[in-house]
Structure 1
Amino acid sequence: MKVLVTEKIDGRGIELMRKRGLQVDEKLNLERKELLDIIGNYDALIVRSATKVDRELLDSASKMKVVGRAGNGMDNIDVKYAVERKIECINAPDSNSIAAAEHTIALLLAVCRNLPKGDSTLRDGLWERSRLMGVELYDKTVGIVGLGRIGKMVAARLQAFGMRTVAYDPFIPELDMARLNVKKVDTIDELMKICDFITVHMPKTKDTIGLIGEEELKLAKKDLRIINCARGGLVDENALYTALVEGRIAGAGIDVFVEEPCTGNPLLTLDNVVATPHLGASTREAQVKAGIMTAEKIAAILLGEEEMTGTR
């Protein structure tokens, strides 16, 4: 059985599969044509977020039994078509939850306290304490859009700062939120009106793209700061840019973009935006867990130790 790895995963995952008797080829940074030419030789494929596993690629993968994403989510994989082709799709959803939650907190604090600007101006020989006045989290209201694994972790951590936590998630009952000391709101509009901070933790689907857009941002408090460490496009980038430029909201922390790698995005020109290059899962611990969890699932499926179910 042959496994193709097209993006860097932790070496312990590679070694695990080889010890189980699988042939593992690491071929990083492949050109699209080269990938299409060789994919038919492999029984399994492991990717992260850069490789687009679309219909064209799946049609060329004549021997493919399983596609694995070493991370959370599978929005770069055409899961529906893969399942039609009887190709299993797996990921490692718990591998980067802590890393993503912690990065959310880091971005939120960086936006509130002007940390990047403070660092850069000090290095330029300036001492701009008065211009870089920040705001506190204590006794403020944070709205969490999506109260899944990561959203729950973010809520718990922000409650430790003395924040009031409210959430929009139509799939989580009010009683379950209450047990987490989170108040449930029924609409995004309601959330926008009452929150000082909003952080987004929804998966990217046709229903969540543009979930926070021009109309929603019109309802926001003027001092709202919004954080997106989930997926690019959940917050409409053009609407966000306009709201920031016009001073209708105070700031944003962005880790994910519609187009990645991201160059020339107008959000990167704004002083009230703190941006990072999709670092939410970029911790040593998260990458180790993602590599090992994905490798274990791939090996179990290829060796017949787990029944194929379509997705997991």
Structure 2
Amino acid sequence: MAYKVLVTPRSFGRHSNEPDEILKRFGVEVKKNPYSKIMTEEQMIEEIKDVDGIIVGVDPLSKEVLQHAEKLKVISKYGVGIDNIDISYAKERNIKVARAMNANADAVADYTFALMMAVARKVVKIDKECRKSNWKKITTIDVHKKTLGLVGLGNIGKKVAQRAKGFEMDVLAYDLMPDYEYANSSGVQYVNHLDEIFLKSDFISLHLPLNKHTEHIISKDQFKLMKSIAVIVNTARGGLIDEQALSEALQEQLIWGAGIDVFESEPPQNKELLGLDNIVIGSHCAASTVQAIDNMGIISSENLVELFEKDNEKA
């Protein structure tokens, strides 16, 4: 049986033809994102009508979209975050969903640490001044032997913790499903209350999915708890931080700074953030390395084929 598949991520197969070869060997007919951007709901509805499967990035797979996908059997996520997919409705329709686990964890952990370093040491500001021939020394803050607080200790959070140990940092973590075996073996200390992360940490890094429980988990009250030299980093999902509260905290210098790779809408609607020099901004690019892109393409293609094969076995 020949399956038709929509592939939405623009970076799919950019550096390697292996993801396409995996699909070709299985006999999949592939159509790729024709818009050269993240698709809207309306565009997804048009493109998804006649497909059996989809390899999806961050494009919306809401109930409204999925209702128009009458033939859809499988969804293969190009990455791990599934907040753009209506999982409940997919389950109701018996549409199988797979994620590319660990495909980009190292890349995101590296970028998380890069943002921490850049904000702490004011790398971007120093670079700008040097380009204006201003060689005046700019005082910054240390990372070595400071306290890192991780909100969420899944695969990526654990990899950030590993990197922090190289800087001899004390690592605190808050997670609703604690992995005590990992914590005990790696020297990570769990805290009982989220506020302890904000009160005790010099650096705070978010590694959570976005849902109704985590939306704006960082807002005005949380910024008030943080140290004046605290740095907050978000490479997880836009919406975890109240961006207006972030803007005010940075302008009022309640914290040292922020490294933000993800926003509620991209580019961010709050243009004040773009003018501040104590924030380093990313374009949702933490996972955008050659190796991670290759891994995501290969794993998401293999997952798709595996789901189709299981579907064939049932037929």
Q: Where on the TM-score scale, by shorter chain, does this alignment land: which range?
A: over 0.9
Which deviates more from structure 2 when the two are superposed, residues 104-113 or residues 261-270?
Answer: 261-270
Shift of 1:153: 0.8
Unaligned runs of 5+ in 1: none
Aligned to 1:6: 8
Which deviates more from structure 2 when the two are superposed, residues 255-264 or residues 191-200?
Answer: 255-264
Q: Determine if the alignment matches structure 1 residue 167 to structure 2 residue 173.
A: yes
Counterparts of 1:78 and 1:111 in 2: how far apart (Å)? 35
1:27 to 28, 33, 43: 33
Counterparts of 1:117 and 1:287 in 2: how far apart (Å)? 30
Q: Determine if the alignment matches structure 1 residue 196 to structure 2 residue 202.
A: yes
1:31/1:228 Cα in 2 relative to 1: closer, same or farther (>3 Å)? closer
Alignment of 1:1-312 (within 5 A): 1-8=3-10, 9-10=12-13, 11-29=17-35, 33-49=42-58, 51-129=59-137, 132-174=138-180, 176-262=182-268, 264-304=270-310
8 Å CA contact 1:73–1:93 kept in 2: the answer is: no
Q: Which amino acid aligns with 2:4?
A: K
Shift of 1:305: 6.9
Counterparts of 2:40 and 2:257 in 1: how far apart (Å)? 38
For residues 145-204 of structure 1, give each alpha carbon's deviation from its aligned partner in whole angstroms, at most 9, with x where no partner exists.
111111111111111101111111121054542222011111111111111111111111
Q: Which amino acid aligns with 1:122?
A: C
8 Å CA contact 2:237–2:263 kept in 1: the answer is: yes
Counterparts of 1:153 and 1:236 in 2: how far apart (Å)? 26
Report how many aligned residue pairs link the two structures. Answer: 305
8 Å CA contact 1:5–1:28 kept in 2: the answer is: no
What percentage of aligned pairs have identical amino acids? 38
Shift of 1:77: 1.0
Counterparts of 2:182 and 2:48 in 1: how far apart (Å)? 45
Counterparts of 2:44 and 2:197 in 1: how far apart (Å)? 44
Shift of 1:236: 1.7
1:223/1:71 Cα in 2 relative to 1: closer, same or farther (>3 Å)? same
1:37/1:195 Cα in 2 relative to 1: closer, same or farther (>3 Å)? closer
Shift of 1:139: 2.0
1:33/1:257 Cα in 2 relative to 1: closer, same or farther (>3 Å)? closer
8 Å CA contact 2:243–2:270 kept in 1: the answer is: no
Counterparts of 1:228 and 1:56 in 2: how far apart (Å)? 29
Unaligned runs of 5+ in 2: none
8 Å CA contact 1:300–1:306 kept in 2: the answer is: no
Counterparts of 1:307 and 1:233 in 2: how far apart (Å)? 40
Which deviates more from structure 2 when the two are superposed, residues 259-268 or residues 61-70?
Answer: 259-268
Counterparts of 1:38 and 1:271 in 2: how far apart (Å)? 41
Shift of 1:247: 1.5
Alignment TM-score, normalising by the size of structure 1? 0.92
1:301/1:217 Cα in 2 relative to 1: closer, same or farther (>3 Å)? same
Alignment TM-score, normalising by the size of structure 2? 0.91
Shift of 1:31: 6.5
